[in-house]
């Protein structure tokens, strides 16, 4: 098993960024989803069951992948 983490920030996006992904249906500034799964495809399949997440847009982002066999910092987040 692995932990898959997708994080997207629209903090510095603008109207000129037409290709910017929109990973969550509601308006957001920061969005993050973490999934425990064997593969990225399985993780995306699980996310598809969550009502407001846009899987097609998440596919444009590279998730952080953490194997469970070793110690790791899962994440940190600072917003000023």
pLDDT in tens, 25-35: 998 889 999 99
Q: Mean pLDDT across the stretch 27-49?
A: 95
Q: Mean pLDDT across the stretch 70-78?
A: 83
- Its sign, for the CA torsion 44, 34, 59, 1, is negative
Residue 3: predicted pLDDT: 95
> What pTM value is reported for the model?
0.85
Strands ordered across the beta sheet of 64-67? 30-37, 2-9, 64-67
Residue 22: predicted pLDDT: 86
Which residue has tokens 């000129």? 16
Q: Is the pLDDT of residue 70 over 70?
A: yes
CB atoms within 10 A of CB 75: 12
Q: Write out the DSSP string of 26-69.
A: S--SEEEEEEEESSHHHHHHHHHTSTTB-HHHHTTSPPEEEETT
């Amino acid at each position: 098993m692995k932990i898959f983490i997708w994080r997207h920030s629209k903090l510095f996006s603008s109207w000129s960024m037409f290709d910017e992904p929109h990973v969550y249906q509601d308006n957001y500034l920061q969005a993050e989803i973490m999934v425990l799964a064997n593969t990225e495809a399985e993780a995306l399949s699980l996310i598809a069951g969550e009502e407001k997440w846009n899987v097609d847009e998440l596919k444009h982002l590279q998730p952080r992948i953490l194997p469970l066999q070793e110690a790791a910092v899962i994440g940190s987040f600072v917003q000023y």
